[in-house]
């Protein structure tokens, strides 16, 4: 008696990735288009998926000061500095959004009704590639301007699963060499990114790399103080659950 195994086609795999919410990241190249030149006079900002579009902006001194103020006074510990970094990255997104269409960016790649509202979403949406490149750009600016005392900026974090892959910014603690991910993809523009130990971030199921496996609570920088918004985490987890259920229903029909 012969046993045969029917493998899914490429179309099937791509369709599964789309249902799981990470199709654009799944289809991307294994390296990121990181900018070679960064300065306060020329800040490159990616958007529209895979860095398809890029704007170069200059921040006025008072806007940069509002970002740098998150690091005052200097953090006494690495853990305290990581909290400062979260606040600064979230606020940097808000400030950059005043000069680019990225202020329209929603959580994840696209909402379920994206086809009906596409004209209002683009330009300005970000996938995980755009988010990772921009986050690294902002972190580099912090580092270049002497704002980071306990961390250095390192290569992008990367994780891959069967149906998709995912990138994020990454820093390394000087004292312990421990790596931490700074992941902005799960929140809308201006919300605080996930700050997570890189090894924990890399510990995912074999099926999908685009599910938030952190215990972080998303918070929005609305007045420069950062307000809690636990509803974002609830929505993100519910969305991931719906995606998994949709995937299994779709897979059974193949």
pLDDT tens track for 105-132? 999 888 777 777 777 889 999 999 999 9
The ranges assigned to domains in the chain are 10-252
Q: What b-and-e string marks burial along 37-62, b requiring 16 or more CB atoms within 10 Å of the CB?
A: ebeeeebbbbbbbbbebbeebebeee
Query: What integer pLDDT is reported at residue 239 of this predicted model?
Result: 42
Question: Average model confidence (pLDDT) for the chain?
Answer: 79
Quick check: 6 pLDDT over 70? no
Residue 48 tokens, joined: 């529209």
CA nearest to 227, candidates 90, 104, 99: 90
Reported as a pLDDT band with limits 50, 70 and 90, residue 155 is: very high
Q: Is 50 left (phi over 0), alpha (psi -120 to 50) or beta?
A: left
Q: Cα angle vertex 45, ends 42, 49, to 5°?
A: 155
Euclidean distance between CA atoms 242 and 166, whole angstroms: 19
Share of residues in the chain with pLDDT > 90 (%): 59
C-alpha pair distances (Å), 56 with each of 50, 83, 132, 157:
16, 27, 17, 24
């Amino acid at each position: 008696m012969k046993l045969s195994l029917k493998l899914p086609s490429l179309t099937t795999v791509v369709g599964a990735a789309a249902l799981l919410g990470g199709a654009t990241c799944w289809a991307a190249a294994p390296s990121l288009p990181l900018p070679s030149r960064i300065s306060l006079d020329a800040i490159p900002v990616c958007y529209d998926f895979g860095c398809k579009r890029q704007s170069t902006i200059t921040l006025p001194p008072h806007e940069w000061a509002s970002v740098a103020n998150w690091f005052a006074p200097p953090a006494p510990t690495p853990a305290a500095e990581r909290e400062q970094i979260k606040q600064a990255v979230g606020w940097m997104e808000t400030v950059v959004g005043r000069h680019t269409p990225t202020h329209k960016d929603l959580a994840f790649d696209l909402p379920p009704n994206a086809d009906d509202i596409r004209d209002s979403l683009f330009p300005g949406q970000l996938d995980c590639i755009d988010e990772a490149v921009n986050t690294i750009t902002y972190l580099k600016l912090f580092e270049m301007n002497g704002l980071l005392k306990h961390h250095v900026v390192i290569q992008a974090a990367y994780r891959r699963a069967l149906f998709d892959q995912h990138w994020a910014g990454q820093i390394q603690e000087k004292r312990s060499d421990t790596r931490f991910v700074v992941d902005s993809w799960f929140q809308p523009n201006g919300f605080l990114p996930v700050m997570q130990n890189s090894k924990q971030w890399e510990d995912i199921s074999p099926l999908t790399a685009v599910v938030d496996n952190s215990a972080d609570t998303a918070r929005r920088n609305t007045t420069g103080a950062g307000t809690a918004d636990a509803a974002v985490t609830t929505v993100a987890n519910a969305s991931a659950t719906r995606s998994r259920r949709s995937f299994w229903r779709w897979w059974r029909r193949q």
